[in-house]
Copies of this chain bind each other. A is one copy, B any other.
Amino acid sequence: MSDAIDLSEKLSKFSDHWSPRTVAQFNDCDVMVVKVQGEFVWHKHDDTDDFFLVLNGVLDIQLRDRTVTLSPGQMYIVPKGVEHRPVAKDEVHLLLIEPTGTPNTGDPATAAPRKTA
């Protein structure tokens, strides 16, 4: 159980969008894979930076003043408190890292439940 974590294999286990799966714990953070497609909601996290690494596809991270476009092997960290909206024209696979318990929408009322893969 505690051996190599294969991100592609973890991604192959589910097909729904915007529902991150935790694959490991790093200190107080969840390391997650997620499939996304379409437009997410504008949101921010007041207490944490937001780590995005693209594994497959092309992701736009819209900020209020510009858009950061990420291809596979590219990453971006949205600073805490900064409003952002991830947008994926086609399906994108991501590695995400956030403190355990962080609501993915920035709001517990609308956040996806944390699942494991």
Contact = CB atoms under 8 A, between A and B. Distances in A.
Given A49-B26, A51-B26, A7 B97 contact: no
Given A49-B26, A97-B97, A5 B76 contact: yes
Interface stretch (A65-73, A84-92, A104-112): A65-73
A4 B76 contact: yes
Nearest to A24: B77
A36 interface: no
**Copies, count:** 2
Interface residues of A, number: 31
Interface of A: 3-8, 23-27, 31, 48-49, 51, 53, 55, 66, 68-71, 73-77, 80, 95, 97, 99
